[in-house]
């Protein structure tokens, strides 16, 4: 579980990131979750965009992602979700 200070730090780090995963019409599927987990293992901090044609609510998607082991929702802002998961092999981010 991330502290408020760590979330604030990660929000600052995410400002320069471009969204890596897009959730579209089919919503949050197993293949999308796999894509997100692979991206998190490689980068640790990613942005996910929810496209306009997605029927699922952004908060519902964020809650389902947070249920996945190790994934932390840093921020939900507009149609963008910022996610963090500590990498096992490629640790890049040192949390305060």
For residue 88, pLDDT beyond 90: no
Confidence band for 69, pLDDT divided at 50, 70 and 90 = very high
Strand 45-50 and strand 72-77: the pairing is unpaired
* Long-range pairs, 9-13, Cβ under 8 A, ≥24: 9/95, 9/96, 10/45, 10/74, 10/75, 10/82, 10/84, 10/93, 10/95, 11/74, 11/75, 11/82, 13/45, 13/93
What CA dihedral angle connects 65, 67, 68 and 69, to 10 degrees? Answer: 140
pLDDT tens per residue, range 24-55: 999 999 999 999 999 999 999 999 999 999 99
DSSP label of 41: H
């Amino acid at each position: 579980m991330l502290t408020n200070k760590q979330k604030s730090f990660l929000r600052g780090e995410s400002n320069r990131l471009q969204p890596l995963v897009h959730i579209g019409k089919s919503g949050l599927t197993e293949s999308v979750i796999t894509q997100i987990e692979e991206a998190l293992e490689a980068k640790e901090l990613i942005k996910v965009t929810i496209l306009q044609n997605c029927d699922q609510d952004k908060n519902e998607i964020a809650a389902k992602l947070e249920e996945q082991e190790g994934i932390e929702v840093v921020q939900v802002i507009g149609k963008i979700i910022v996610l963090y998961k500590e990498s096992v092999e490629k640790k890049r981010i040192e949390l305060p």
